[in-house]
Amino acid sequence: MQVQENISLRPYNTFHIDVAAKQFAAFSSTDELETLHAFSRFTVDSSRLLILGGGSNILFINNFSGLVLKNELKGIEIIKEDALHYYVKVSAGENWHQLVLHCIAHNYAGLENLSLIPGCVGASPMQNIGAYGVEIKDVFESLEAYDLEDKKVVTFSLNDCEFGYRESVFKRRHKGRFVILNVTYRLNKQPLFNTSYGAIEQELQGMGVKELSIQAISQAVINIRSSKLPDPAQIGNAGSFFKNPQISIEQFNILKEKYAGLPGYPVNEYNIKVAAGWLIEQCGWKGYREGDAGVHAKQALVLVNYANAGGEDIYKLSGKIIESVQNTFGITLEREVNII
């Protein structure tokens, strides 16, 4: 456990933005976290503390003047089981996709639709990550988090987390207060296949799958995501940059008369979720590039850093896209990525 000075964060964020942290350290136990947190309170920049996982949902637009703590907590274990479920406790620093593959290899069902999502386990409840009809709240049992104010470990239940669409209590009311240490998932012994969302069924047919399995669904999701989303190791990005907006059914019907191809997914009896990528593409942004900042050529929802774009370049581009969609459709896009 060593605190380093003026460390580049480029290797620690999937946008590959080259900003510096005044101080940087990694922790692999709760005791180390407590020690480093105590240290941070006596430094010049004690007001600034950032907990970093996989760096896959962050856009740095400035150097970070405080202490960055890299979460490297590891471990996967079954803590209990019943007739229907395995309860799998996973440390927050574990790689998310590797966890999914681990569960598939052991026939723990429920995470297969969430294959190939970048980042670490600790971000999964923070963001309530989701894809292809499944969200973390569907398989969530509980989590433990370290309270930076009260200096103790607290357990959160499903209701405590206040999950919403790419939202949780950790992004709003408790932002910056808790460090997620581990998450326990309730996974199925008998799979409940979810293939109705997106192009999963079509991909399964193309794969020649005769007998449905969690392995097949995972591979279908991997194939689909790989075909249209850039690999962060090759092109800097944070996946979906914007949330899919929810609008009223009345507004949706009005827009549908003018834009027949507008895709919508019912949320409840009052609201429809529309595809942000479709809106952005209709405004002509797909494949757009300004220097090294751009919109991915295969998925307009993804902003990319082709080489040496600054965070401010990406942020300014996102602002132009928000303004464009607002002017065209009367819909305000919200950034999903955390701006630091």
The CA distances from residue 83 to 10, 87, 137, 189, 190, in Å, are: 46, 11, 21, 8, 10
**Which residues in 99-177 belong to E strands, given as ranges?**
130-131, 134-135, 140-147, 152-157
Q: Say what the pLDDT of residue 47 is.
A: 53
The CA distances from residue 172 to 89, 162, 163, 164, in Å, are: 25, 10, 11, 11
Q: Are strands 58-59 and 338-339 parallel, antiparallel or unpaired?
A: parallel
Confidence of residue 44 (pLDDT cuts 50, 70, 90): very low
Confidence of residue 113 (pLDDT cuts 50, 70, 90): very high
Instruction: Tell me the C-alpha distance between 333 and 279, whole Å.
Output: 9
Q: What is the pLDDT of residues 124-176, one digit of tens each?
A: 999 999 999 999 999 999 999 999 999 999 999 999 999 998 899 998 889 88
Q: Which residues have a Cβ under 8 Å from the Cβ of 10 and sit 6 or more positions away?
A: 16, 17, 18, 19
Q: What is the mean pLDDT of residues 86-93?
A: 98
Where do we find the tokens 């405004």?
283
Q: Which of 1-10, 91-100, 266-275 ranks highest by mean pLDDT?
A: 91-100
SS3 category, 123? helix
Q: What is the pLDDT of residues 318-328, one digit of tens each?
A: 999 999 999 99
Taking 70 as the threshold, does the pLDDT of residue 45 lie above it?
A: no
In this predicted model, which residue has the larger pLDDT, 227 or 197?
Answer: 227
Q: What is the pLDDT of residues 271-318, one digit of tens each?
A: 999 999 999 999 999 999 999 999 999 999 999 999 999 999 999 999
Catalytic residue numbers, as ranges? 166, 240, 336
Q: Say what the pLDDT of residue 42 is.
A: 63
Q: What is the mean pLDDT of residues 176-194?
A: 96
Query: How many CB atoms sit inside 10 A of residue 175's CB?
Result: 12
Q: What is the pLDDT of residues 26-41, one digit of tens each?
A: 999 999 999 998 887 6
Q: Say what the pLDDT of residue 187 is.
A: 98
Q: Say what the pLDDT of residue 46 is.
A: 45
The CA distances from residue 97 to 119, 230, 260, 335, in Å, are: 8, 16, 37, 23
Q: Say what the pLDDT of residue 159 is.
A: 97
Whether residue 95 contacts residue 14, with contact meaning beta carbons closer than 8 Å, is answered with: no
Q: Say what the pLDDT of residue 48 is.
A: 83
Confidence of residue 239 (pLDDT cuts 50, 70, 90): very high
Taking 80 as the threshold, does the pLDDT of residue 117 lie above it?
A: yes
Confidence of residue 196 (pLDDT cuts 50, 70, 90): confident
Q: Say what the pLDDT of residue 197 is.
A: 80
What structural domains does the chain harbor? Answer: 4-71 (3.30.43.10), 76-188 (3.30.465.10), 236-339 (3.90.78.10)
Mean pLDDT of the chain: 94
Taking 80 as the threshold, does the pLDDT of residue 198 lie above it?
A: no
Whether residue 229 contacts residue 239, with contact meaning beta carbons closer than 8 Å, is answered with: yes
